């Protein structure tokens, strides 16, 4: 029935005077005019994939300086990696068209290739070594050293890992990056380490925010809940409930209460920890970026573009918002 209706629609379209595919010229997409427009494109990419525009998008990231600080560019790195990984047959062409690119922005390309999940990512990276002589040390660490790929990024030691995994999800809608973010939920119940607690809280917050606007993600989380055990299961159930009832403020209040309890009752080194200004800076940025990436672009843009990343995130997690 659906195919029949589509066929009927096409027939009616072709029957209109002066309308026909032979007469229609494919309209080329206009270049990205702003960082806001770039982010909107990323937000809707899973629904309307346009892999051929990735090189243009990477150059726009450089032009708009959204990747100036690679520690705050995890979402962009993960997104680029996801598009490359999902288009293995055209990966060489996509990467080739990203050049020329300033040496400082070539880090994004290197990490995106390494995080792409392609079986032959090392061969792909090797083919572009000569175009990135200034980044030889980093390239060698991935090719011959022990630099981890995306599946092995330790979230406890690298707070950008959650950002990168979200970026990969935005590009592909795949389960693997979400599954990795879910593992960090166990830290939302941590009683000893404020950094892990912060990462766990942000994983919980962003999963709930995004799942409340993305039914595919919500269904994915429900499926994962059937196999999730241990400390990660209770917060995952809370995430699903919050997303379904849109009671997202409760997630934030629980995070604040847990962190405050750890600060006041924990060891001296934790009690004196200036969490708002120091812990989990990149993860704090994600509190804005990922929360806005599925339909509320105006939420995410200040975090990506404005520079005051942790300040923007505090808009959503500060006590003043209770």
Query: Cα 203 to chain center, whole Å?
Result: 12
Looking at residue 13, its pLDDT comes to 37
Half-sphere exposure of 115 (CA within 13 A, CB side): 31
CB atoms near residue 23 (< 10 Å) = 8
**Tens digit of pLDDT for each residue in 8-63?**
343 433 344 444 333 344 456 789 999 889 988 998 899 899 999 999 999 999 99
**Tens digit of pLDDT for each residue in 198-219?**
788 888 888 988 898 889 999 9
Residue among 3, 143, 166, 159 at smallest CA distance from 78: 166
**Tens digit of pLDDT for each residue in 78-131?**
999 999 999 999 999 999 999 999 999 999 999 999 999 999 999 999 999 999
**Tens digit of pLDDT for each residue in 270-296?**
444 444 344 444 444 444 444 444 444
Mean pLDDT across the stretch 143-147?
A: 94
DSSP designation for 223: H
Output the pTM of the full model: 0.78
Q: Please determine, for residue 230, whether its predicted confidence score (pLDDT) is greater than 50.
A: yes
CA–CA separation, 212 vs 205, rounded Å? 11
* CA 184-185-189 angle, 5° bins: 115
């Amino acid at each position: 029935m659906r195919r029949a209706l589509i066929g009927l629609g096409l027939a009616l379209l072709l029957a209109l005077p002066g309308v026909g595919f032979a007469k229609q010229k494919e309209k080329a997409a206009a270049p990205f005019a702003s960082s806001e427009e770039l982010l909107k494109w990323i937000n809707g990419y899973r629904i309307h994939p346009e892999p051929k525009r990735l090189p243009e998008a990477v150059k726009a990231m450089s032009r708009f300086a959204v990747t100036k600080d690679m520690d705050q560019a995890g979402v962009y790195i993960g997104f680029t990696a996801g598009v490359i990984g999902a288009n293995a047959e055209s990966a060489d062409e996509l990467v080739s068209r990203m050049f020329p690119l300033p040496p400082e922005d070539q880090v994004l390309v290197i990490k995106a290739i390494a995080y792409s999940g392609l079986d032959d990512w090392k061969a792909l990276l090797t083919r572009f070594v000569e175009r990135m002589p200034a980044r030889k040390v980093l390239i060698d660490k991935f090719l011959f050293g022990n630099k981890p790929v995306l599946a092995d990024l330790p979230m406890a030691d690298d707070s950008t890992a959650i950002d990168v995994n979200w970026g990969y999800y935005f590009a592909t809608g795949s389960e693997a990056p979400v599954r990795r973010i879910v593992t960090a939920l166990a830290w939302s119940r941590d009683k000893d380490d404020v950094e892990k607690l912060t990462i766990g809280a942000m994983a919980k917050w962003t999963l709930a925010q995004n799942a409340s606007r993305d039914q595919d993600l919500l269904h994915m989380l429900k499926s994962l809940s059937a196999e999730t055990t241990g400390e990660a299961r209770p917060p995952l159930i809370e995430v699903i409930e919050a997303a379904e009832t849109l009671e997202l403020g409760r997630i934030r209040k629980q995070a604040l209460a847990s962190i405050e309890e750890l600060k006041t009752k924990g060891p001296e080194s934790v009690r004196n920890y200036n969490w708002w200004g120091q812990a989990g800076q990149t993860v704090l940025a994600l509190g804005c970026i990922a929360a806005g990436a599925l339909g509320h672009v105006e939420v995410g843009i200040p975090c990506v573009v404005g520079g005051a990343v942790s300040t923007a995130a505090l808009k959503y997690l500060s006590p003043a918002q209770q």
